[in-house]
Amino acid sequence: MNTSDQLDAAFAALANPTRRAILAHLAQGEATVNTLAEPFDMSLPAISKHIRVLENAGLVTRGRDAQFRPCILNAQPLKVVANWTDQYRHIWDARFDVMAGVLQTMKETKNE
């Protein structure tokens, strides 16, 4: 999968709050589908579909532990996303610097 395809798949997977919550859980360590489903008010098949989307994006892999197939976070696609967003960091850093200056001026004006 090329970088453009990886970004498309990762952003599509990350667009859903349930999938982001699943990834946050997996960032703490591997988990079974049942464990991942616990905090959500949805069926196991629905959670499995979310996990499949994450797998297709390369964000989750399935291990093999006897009869269990724990889900494991694969952070590599997140690195691709981070690298892509880093090229725009200078833009938002500059805007935050301007905003900080405006806020400082407002604070100084208020205190006078």
Residues 16-45: tens digit of each pLDDT: 999 999 999 999 999 999 999 999 999 999
What share of the chain in percent tops pLDDT 70? 98
Q: Report the mean per-residue pLDDT for the chain.
A: 91
For residue 90, pLDDT beyond 90: no
Q: Which residues are paired to 62 by β-bridges?
A: 71
Map residue 65 onto helix, strand or coil: strand
Give the chain's count of helices (H) and strands (E): 6, 2
Q: Which residues are paired to 47 by β-bridges?
A: none
Q: What pLDDT is attached to residue 63?
A: 80
Residues 47-71: tens digit of each pLDDT: 999 999 999 999 999 987 667 789 9
DSSP string over 27-64:
TT--B-HHHHHTTSSS-HHHHHHHHHHHHHTTSEEE--
Q: What fold characterizes domain 3-87?
A: Arc Repressor Mutant, subunit A (1.10.10)
